[in-house]
Amino acid sequence: MGRWAPRLVIATAVLHFGWAFAQPNAWMDIVRDGVVGTVVDTEADGYWPREASVWFMAAGVTPLALGTLTRHIVRITGRVTAQLGWYPLLVGVPTAAMTFPATGS
């Protein structure tokens, strides 16, 4: 599993980046408006879809960083460190608690 864990995490990041552009998104609006400063004004029409598109893509950086770092560690030590599991939990559990409704609906 040692050599597969980093590959699977990197594959997850690649899928995350791919889905950021494949899902309904606001990338064309962002590009049409010149990219720079297009996700700043919270009162602008289309702000929330733009913000969601940018943050979904940006969130792919975390698994990419974890995967490449783990690949490096596996090459040096021959094993996967526990941090590969703990870091996503430390980010994911509080995020889920803050963003998902308590009712599950």
Cα dist. 1→47, 52, 68, 74 in Å? Answer: 42, 34, 15, 10
45: left (phi over 0), alpha (psi -120 to 50) or beta: beta
Q: Which residue has the tokens 């919270």?
A: 42
Q: Each residue's pLDDT tens digit in the chain (105 positions)?
A: 678 889 999 999 999 888 888 877 788 888 988 989 888 888 888 888 888 888 888 888 989 999 999 999 999 999 888 888 888 889 888 888 887 766 655
Which pLDDT value is given to residue 105?
Answer: 56
pLDDT of residue 91: 84
